[in-house]
Every structure is written in C-alpha cells, then in structure tokens.
C-alpha cells in the first residue's frame, strides 16, 4: 500500500521490483490509496508504505530485503504455498 510523493514507498517498490527481477517468486499487487481513495479489502494502514503478504502485515515503512527474502524462503518450504505481496 503506497501513496504519491512518498520516498519510502518508492524505495520499497524498487526493492520489491528488484526482488522479482532476480527471480523472487511472488505476485506483487500495488495499491496507491491516493489514486483509489480507499484501502484494499481487509487491510488498514495508517502508515505507508505497508507491505502485506498473504493477508498478514509484514512491514510498516521500509524493510531489509534480505530479511524479506528469508521470510519468503521459509514460506516456500511448503511447495503449495502461493505468495501474494
């Protein structure tokens, strides 16, 4: 979940895009609340960016990509896991 003119949002999007380009197996949906004027279903956010993975809030604000990757790998131990970020 992002907003316009949010440098931290831009940084998070850059990290996630890079992660996907390097082979990260996630589906990325981006919600810009300034464009839609509503929060995605079942998600609230008072701070942007907010990074949700499989309907769980993982991060408010920026995050470390290595930590994100480790959490994703742990989820992928179950081969049926689909990751929606």
Q: What is the pLDDT along the chain (85 residues), one digit of tens a residue?
A: 888 889 999 999 999 999 888 888 888 888 888 887 666 776 666 678 888 888 888 998 888 889 988 988 888 877 666 777 6
pLDDT number for residue 9: 92
List the structure tokens of 39: 């929060």
50 neighbors 57 (Cβ within 8 angstroms): yes
- The CA distance from 26 to 38, in Å, is 24
pLDDT number for residue 83: 74
Domain coordinates of the chain in residue numbers? 7-75
pLDDT number for residue 42: 67
pTM equals 0.76
- The CA distance from 53 to 70, in Å, is 13
pLDDT number for residue 38: 67
């Amino acid at each position: 979940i992002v907003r316009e003119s949010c440098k931290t949002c831009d940084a998070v999007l850059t990290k996630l895009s890079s992660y996907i380009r390097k082979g990260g197996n996630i589906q990325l949906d981006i919600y810009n609340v300034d464009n839609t004027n509503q929060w995605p279903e079942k998600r609230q956010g008072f701070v942007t960016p907010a990074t949700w993975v499989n309907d769980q809030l993982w991060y408010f604000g920026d995050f470390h990509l290595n930590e994100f990757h480790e959490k994703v790998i742990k989820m992928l131990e179950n081969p049926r896991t689909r990751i929606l970020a």
